[in-house]
Chains A and B, each alone.
Chain A
Amino acid sequence: MVGSLIEGDFSAGLDAVVRRVFPGARMDNLRRLSGGASQETWAFEAVGESGSTPLILRRAPGGERVHDSAVGLEGEAALMRLAGAVGVPEPPVHYVLEPGDGIGRGFVCGFIEGETLGRKIVRDERFAEARKTLAFECGRTMARIHELPLDKLPKLRMATARGRVEEIYTRYKADGRPRPVISLAFEWLRAHAPPEPSAPKLVHGDFRNGNLIVGPDGLRAVLDWEIAHLGDPIEDLGWVCVGPWVFGGIDKPVGGFGTIEQLLDGYKAGGGDDVDPSHIKWWTVLGSTSWGVSCSAMTHTFRDGIEKTADRAMIARRSSENEIDILNLIAPRG
């Protein structure tokens, strides 16, 4: 890995890229943005005679580390370009890093002004108008993603509904801690698995409040394509409804800002098929189960000393949020 790259080399390397991609400009005001544990996000400007252009660099951590199941930075850039071309709001991708650039793997894209913090999108008065149509916009945008022709896509892994259940179950058993609500969730998921789609579609995989850029005018960008894959497109409609991603707005199951009906109206307007709401619910239960198992597994990351931080411990203790969400969906109190 290129983790040993000293900041000076990185900064100089990025400056060289800027000078080549934006003739007459130089790089300025480079700063690391918060958020995104699995990828680095840097903000900077290309400053030239005619003014300054705000830009973003998305880079693999330390330059090169890419998770096995991830699309990879080059794949993400390709997906953003393809999606942008069919009306999915995406920042323009200006440049994909090459080995000769010497600053790792990543891409340079436009900076989109707006809010990404889910809690603010759900609560702030300045997004009150945007919230009225945001779930519709999400549905329409998902439909456009799901209709992208597969032969144009970068290489992606395939994930079936039943395959996902067993993959998460393996992680649950490896974690080892008995959690009756999670065991119940697996029984329910196996008993209610939807039929596989007639043809697999492109699934964004992490389409949720928190990965969206929203302005007072509505949806401005869909970010974080790193776990995109092929499979059942309804996964995206279910994941946007998973409990922690509604940021307290539990009366608005879609991201804390909208209704399932609005999401489905948008999905249809974007060219999507009719969807059975119970199919969405199945993927929401899977999402809560998956995230619940992932949170719990952080106990090991914490105890093994890989990341012995209060932050990690507190995320592990958010497992129970998912358990109450699962009970609410599959075993509501009479």
Chain B
Amino acid sequence: MQDTPDHTEILAAVTALLRDEIMPLLSGRPNYQVRVAANALDLVGRQMALQDGFDVAEHERLIELLGRDGDLTALNQALCDAIETNTVTLETPGVREHLWTTTMAKLAVDQPSYARYQAELKNEPA
């Protein structure tokens, strides 16, 4: 068991340092670069918090859809192959919802402020 404060608390302190103390001292390109760095750390924090749960759920859905097992990359490759040979289409039960759920999970980590994602969140099945 690791000691405290934990990694999420430390990340939050570093992004606060970058945004609240360093950025105001800078203008132009350095200011932009520090903002990107803080945004990147936020992404890392979201990925650490969310990836495991998302990966497990995606893996289960892929096994169900494809009727076979494998790692995430292999199963995604198999799904791509099936789509490109029209063995799987949007009419295949579960496909549309799988693609949406997987894409929403990516956006939750990559870019949760993206307006289309925010709009679709309101559309999520309860």
Q: B4 at interface (Cβ–Cβ under 8 A)?
A: no
- Partner of A180 from the list B39, B83, B110 (CB cut-off 8 Å) is B83
Q: Are B103 and A314 in contact (CB under 8 A)?
A: no
State which of A16-24, A78-86, A140-148, A326-334 sits at the interface with chain B.
A326-334
Q: Are A34 and B33 in contact (CB under 8 A)?
A: no
Which residues of chain B are near A321, meaning CB under 8 Å?
A: 107, 110-111, 114, 116-117
Which residues of chain A are near B29, meaning CB under 8 Å?
A: 34
Which residues of chain B are near A331, meaning CB under 8 Å?
A: 90, 96, 99-100
Q: A179 at interface (Cβ–Cβ under 8 A)?
A: yes
Q: Are A184 and B83 in contact (CB under 8 A)?
A: yes
Query: Quick one: closest A residue to B111, CB to CB?
Result: A321
Most buried by B among A248, A320, A333: A320
- Partner of A310 from the list B33, B103, B114 (CB cut-off 8 Å) is B33
Q: Are A180 and B102 in contact (CB under 8 A)?
A: yes
Q: How far is the CA of A24 from the CA of B107 in the complex (A)?
A: 57
A243-B116, A331-B99, A333-B96 known; A310-B40 Cβ under 8 A:
yes
Which residues of chain B are near A323, meaning CB under 8 Å?
A: 103, 106
Q: How far is the CA of A180 from the CA of B105 in the complex (A)?
A: 14
Q: A207 at interface (Cβ–Cβ under 8 A)?
A: no
CB of A33 to closest CB in B, whole Å: 11
A178-B73, A183-B84, A186-B84 known; A327-B99 Cβ under 8 A:
yes
- Partner of A320 from the list B32, B33, B90, B111 (CB cut-off 8 Å) is B111
Q: Are B43 and A314 in contact (CB under 8 A)?
A: yes
Which residues of chain A are near B79, meaning CB under 8 Å?
A: 178, 180, 183
Q: B36 at interface (Cβ–Cβ under 8 A)?
A: yes
Q: Which of B40-96 contact A (CB under 8 A)?
A: 40, 43, 73, 76-77, 79-80, 83-84, 86, 89-90, 96
Which residues does B use to contact A, with CB under 8 Å? 28-29, 32-33, 36-37, 39-40, 43, 73, 76-77, 79-80, 83-84, 86, 89-90, 96-97, 99-100, 102-104, 106-107, 110-111, 114-117, 119-120, 123
A-B contact pairs, 23 of them (CB 8 A): A178-B76, A180-B76, A180-B102, A183-B79, A183-B83, A184-B83, A184-B99, A248-B115, A249-B115, A250-B116, A250-B119, A310-B36, A314-B36, A314-B39, A318-B111, A320-B107, A320-B110, A321-B107, A321-B111, A324-B120, A327-B100, A327-B103, A333-B96
